[in-house]
C-alpha cells in the first residue's frame, strides 16, 4: 500500500499530465482554428500588411492637327503619396521639408487616415528626388500624367484643358473625354515589415492608352489667325473677337480662335468666363453680313435678277411708323449696287416684296436656327424668331441683320454656300468625318451673289481693305449695334464683322472675323476687314494658293525671293536666343520642325541649343521669357 506521501506525489503527477494534455489539446484546437477555420481571413490580413495594390492612370490619347502635329499630349510627371498606416510620425518634419510644405499642412492632409493619401501631386523632379532620397516607410513616388499643350493660348479655347485627375474639363478634352481617356491599370507591390517597398512589382492589369483624336485644324493657319486677331484687337482697342477659317467645299474647319485667349497649361490662373470658346458660344447680330442671304432669297424667286432695279428712297424709308435709314442716300440702284453700298432700305424693300416665307426659308436652310453640332460643348443655336412673329417691321429689320443672332461658326458655314455653288456643308472639326451637304439655292443664284460680293470689295465698295495683294475677294462687311439690357440697341457698342471668300475667282477659303466693341472705329470694313486680309495673304501661300492677278507678277517674284531668303536664313542660323515668338514659329515652319513652346516673350534657351543642321521632322523645344 502507498503511504500518504506517495499518494500526494501521484496526484500531483496526474494533475501535471492533465494540464499537459489539456495544453496539447488546446494547441491542436488552435492549430485547427488557424489552419482551417481562419486560414482565409488570416491570409488576407497578412497580405494587407505586406502587399499593396495601386491604380495606375493611363496616358490620354493625343490631339493632332490635320498633318499629324501634336496639339495636346500627356507628359509623365511624379507625384508623392503615402500609405498613412506605414508612416512613422517622427518622419513627418523631414518629409514636410522635402515637399516644401508647412508641417501643419502635411499633418492636416494625412489626418487620421490609414490608407493611401496623396501628399503632393505633379511635383517637380527635384522635389520627387528629395523625397525619394529620404527612403521613408510608406512614402511613395507615383507616376501620373499631366496634359501639355505645345501651342498654349493659340489653341486654348478649342482644346480646353484636363484636371489633375486626368479628366477633360473644357473644350475638346471634355467633349471627347471618353475617347481620349485610357483605362487605368493596377499594380501589386510587396513591402518589408518596416514598411519599405521591396523591389519588383506585378501587373494585375496593364493600363490601356487612350485613343488619339485627329482634327481638320491646320495649326499653321490657327497660329496665323490667332496672331492676326490679337494684332487687330490691340490696334482697335476692342473688347474681344473671334475668327473662323473654313474650306467651303468640305466644311473642314482649318482654324477657330478667340480673344482674349487663355493658356490651358495654367488654366487655373484665368477666370471661368475666359475659358469659353466664343466661336460657338457667343451670338451677335450679323448686321449687313446678312444682306447676301436676302438677295439670294430674292433671286431664288425668279422675279429678281442681279440687274433688277430697286428704289432706295434717297436714304429714308418709313414702314409701320418705323424709319429705316442708309448711311449713303441712294435713289434707283440695281441689286449689284445694293450689296456694294450696303443699303438697308434696299434689303428691307426686297424682303417685303418677296415675303417673309422665302427669306425665312433661306435663313433656316443655312442653319441660323440650330446648333451646327460641331462637337463642342456650350454651343449656342443662335436666334431666328419664329415665322409667326414676323410682321412687316420684323421682316424689314431681319433683311439687314437686326433681330436675328448667329455665332461665328454658323455664319462661316452659311457663307460657304456662295463659294460652293449653293450647297451647305455643316462645319467639320474632327478628321475623317464626311459632311453631308444639302442644297440651299441654285448654283446660278450662288454664283450671282458671289459676283456681287466680289464687287463689294472693289473700289467704291465697303470691303476694299479686305483684299490681299494679288488675290480677289468676295465679301461683305457688317456693323451691328449691340442689344442693351432695356430691349433696345446701344448707341456706342457695336460688333464689327467681315465675312469673305478668297480667292473669289476660285474659292479656297471662307474666313469670318467678328470684333466685339471696337473703339477706334465701329465699321466692319475698317476694323474686321484688315484682319481678314492679314489672315488670307499669309495663309493662302502656305496652302499652295499663289497670287494670280497678272498686275502683281513683280510682287509675286519679290515674295518668292523673300521666301528664299527666309529659307537660307534657317539653314545658317546658329542660335534662337533673343528671337520673338513669331520669329521662332516662322523658323520652325520654314524648317519643317516639330515645335514645343514654353512661356512667352523672347527666347531664353532652346533644346538643342544649336539649331543649325536640324532636319525636317526634328523636335525643337524652346523656352521664352518676358
Q: Which residues are catalytic?
A: 288
Q: Is residue 488 helix, strand or coil?
A: coil
CA 620 to CA 402: how far, in whole Å? 49
H helix or E strand, kind and range, residue 608: none
Q: Do the strands 594-599 and 253-259 form a parallel or antiparallel pair, or are they unpaired?
A: unpaired
First to last CA, the chain: 114
Distance CA 250, CA 529 (A): 24
Alpha carbon distances (Å) from 49 to 43, 86, 203, 273: 10, 9, 19, 49
User: 3-class SS at 152?
Assistant: helix
Q: How far is CA 38 from CA 24, 29, 48, 51, 95, in A?
A: 20, 12, 15, 19, 39
Kindly report whether the peptide bond that precedes residue 456 is cis, defined as omega within 30 degrees of 0.
no
- What would the grid cell of residue 508 be? 479656297
Is 489 in contact with 459 (CB distance < 8 Å)? no
Report residue 413 as a C-alpha cell.
458655314
* CB half-sphere exposure, 355, CA atoms < 13 A: 7
549 vs 529: CA distance, rounded Å: 20
* Pairwise CA distance, residues 502 & 533, whole Å: 10
The C-alpha atoms of residue 419 and residue 248 are separated, in whole angstroms, by 6
Can you name the residues that pair with 510 across neighbouring β-strands? 246, 501
Count of positions (residues) in the chain? 626
Q: Could you tell me which residues come within 8 angstroms of residue 176 by beta carbon, excluding any fewer than 6 positions away?
A: 168, 213, 375
Phi, psi of 212 (to 5 degrees): -75, 155
- Strand ranges across the sheet with 51-56: 51-56, 185-191, 197-205
Q: How far apart are CA 293 and CA 288, in angstroms?
A: 10
From the DSSP assignment, how many helices (H) and strands (E) are in the chain? 21, 22
3 state DSSP class of 613: coil
CA distance 59 to 517: 42
CA atoms of 574 and 361, how far apart (whole Å): 61
DSSP per-residue codes, 430-476: BTTPPPPPEE-S-HHHHHHHHHHHHHTTSTTSS-GGGPPTT---EEE
- Which element (helix H / strand E) includes 256? strand 253-259
Who's near 576: CB < 8 A, 6+ residues apart? 584, 587, 603, 606, 611, 622
Amino acid at each position: 500500500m502507498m503511504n500518504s506521501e506517495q499518494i500526494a506525489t501521484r496526484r500531483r503527477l496526474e494533475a501535471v499530465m492533465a494540464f499537459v494534455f489539456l495544453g496539447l489539446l488546446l494547441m491542436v484546437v488552435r492549430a485547427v482554428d488557424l489552419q482551417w477555420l481562419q486560414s482565409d481571413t488570416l491570409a488576407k490580413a497578412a497580405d494587407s500588411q505586406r502587399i499593396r495594390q495601386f491604380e495606375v492612370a493611363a496616358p490620354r490619347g493625343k490631339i493632332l492637327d490635320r498633318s499629324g502635329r501634336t496639339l495636346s499630349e500627356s507628359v509623365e510627371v511624379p507625384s508623392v503619396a503615402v500609405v498613412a498606416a506605414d508612416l512613422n510620425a517622427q518622419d513627418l518634419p523631414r518629409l514636410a521639408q522635402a515637399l516644401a510644405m508647412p508641417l501643419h499642412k502635411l499633418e492636416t492632409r494625412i489626418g487620421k487616415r490609414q490608407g493611401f493619401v496623396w501628399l503632393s501631386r505633379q511635383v517637380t523632379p527635384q522635389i520627387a528626388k528629395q523625397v525619394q532620397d529620404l527612403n521613408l516607410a510608406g512614402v511613395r513616388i507615383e507616376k501620373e500624367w499631366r496634359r501639355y499643350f505645345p501651342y498654349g493660348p493659340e489653341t486654348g479655347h478649342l482644346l480646353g484643358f484636363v484636371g489633375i485627375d486626368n479628366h477633360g474639363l473644357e473644350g475638346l478634352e471634355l467633349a471627347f473625354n471618353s475617347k481620349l481617356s485610357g483605362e487605368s491599370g493596377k499594380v501589386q507591390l510587396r513591402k518589408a515589415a518596416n514598411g519599405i517597398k521591396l523591389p519588383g512589382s506585378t501587373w494585375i492589369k496593364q493600363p490601356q492608352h487612350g485613343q488619339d483624336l485627329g482634327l481638320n485644324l491646320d495649326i499653321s493657319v490657327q497660329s496665323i489667325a490667332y496672331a492676326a486677331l490679337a494684332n487687330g484687337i490691340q490696334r482697335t482697342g476692342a473688347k474681344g473677337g473671334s475668327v473662323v477659317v473654313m474650306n467651303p467645299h468640305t466644311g473642314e474647319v482649318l482654324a477657330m480662335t478667340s480673344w482674349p485667349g487663355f493658356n490651358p497649361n495654367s488654366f487655373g490662373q484665368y477666370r471661368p468666363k475666359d475659358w469659353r470658346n466664343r466661336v460657338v458660344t457667343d451670338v451677335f447680330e450679323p448686321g449687313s453680313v446678312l444682306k447676301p442671304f436676302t438677295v439670294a432669297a430674292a433671286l431664288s424667286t425668279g422675279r429678281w435678277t442681279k440687274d433688277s432695279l430697286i428704289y432706295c428712297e434717297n436714304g429714308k424709308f418709313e414702314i409701320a411708323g418705323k424709319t429705316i435709314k442708309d448711311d449713303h442716300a441712294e435713289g434707283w440702284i440695281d441689286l449689284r449696287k445694293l450689296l456694294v453700298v450696303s443699303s438697308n432700305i434696299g434689303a428691307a424693300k426686297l424682303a417685303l416684296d418677296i415675303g417673309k416665307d422665302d427669306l425665312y426659308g433661306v435663313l433656316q436652310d443655312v442653319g441660323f436656327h440650330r446648333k451646327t453640332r460641331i462637337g463642342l460643348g456650350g454651343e449656342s443655336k443662335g436666334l431666328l424668331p419664329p415665322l409667326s412673329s414676323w410682321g412687316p417691321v420684323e421682316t424689314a429689320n431681319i433683311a439687314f441683320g437686326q433681330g436675328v443672332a448667329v455665332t461665328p461658326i454658323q455664319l462661316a458655314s452659311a457663307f460657304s454656300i456662295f463659294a460652293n455653288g449653293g450647297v451647305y456643308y455643316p462645319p467639320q472639326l474632327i478628321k475623317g468625318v464626311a459632311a453631308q451637304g444639302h442644297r440651299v439655292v441654285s448654283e446660278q443664284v450662288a454664283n450671282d451673289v458671289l459676283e456681287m460680293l466680289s464687287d463689294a470689295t472693289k473700289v467704291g465698295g465697303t470691303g476694299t481693305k479686305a483684299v490681299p495683294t494679288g488675290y480677289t475677294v468676295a465679301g461683305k462687311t457688317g456693323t451691328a449695334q449691340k442689344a442693351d439690357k432695356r430691349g433696345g440697341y446701344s448707341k456706342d457698342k457695336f460688333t464689327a464683322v467681315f465675312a469673305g471668300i478668297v480667292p473669289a475667282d476660285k474659292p479656297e477659303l471662307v474666313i469670318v472675323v467678328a470684333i466685339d466693341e471696337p473703339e477706334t472705329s465701329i465699321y466692319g470694313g475698317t476694323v474686321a476687314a484688315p484682319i481678314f486680309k492679314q489672315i488670307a495673304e499669309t495663309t493662302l501661300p502656305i496652302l499652295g494658293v499663289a497670287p494670280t492677278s497678272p498686275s502683281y507678277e513683280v510682287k509675286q517674284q519679290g515674295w518668292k525671293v523673300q521666301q528664299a531668303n527666309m529659307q537660307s536664313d534657317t539653314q545658317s542660323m546658329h542660335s534662337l536666343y533673343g528671337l520673338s515668338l513669331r520669329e521662332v514659329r516662322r523658323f520652325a515652319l520654314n524648317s519643317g520642325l516639330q515645335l514645343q513652346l514654353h512661356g512667352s516673350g523672347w527666347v531664353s534657351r532652346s533644346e538643342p541649343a544649336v539649331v543649325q543642321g536640324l532636319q525636317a521632322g526634328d523636335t525643337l523645344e524652346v523656352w521664352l521669357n518676358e
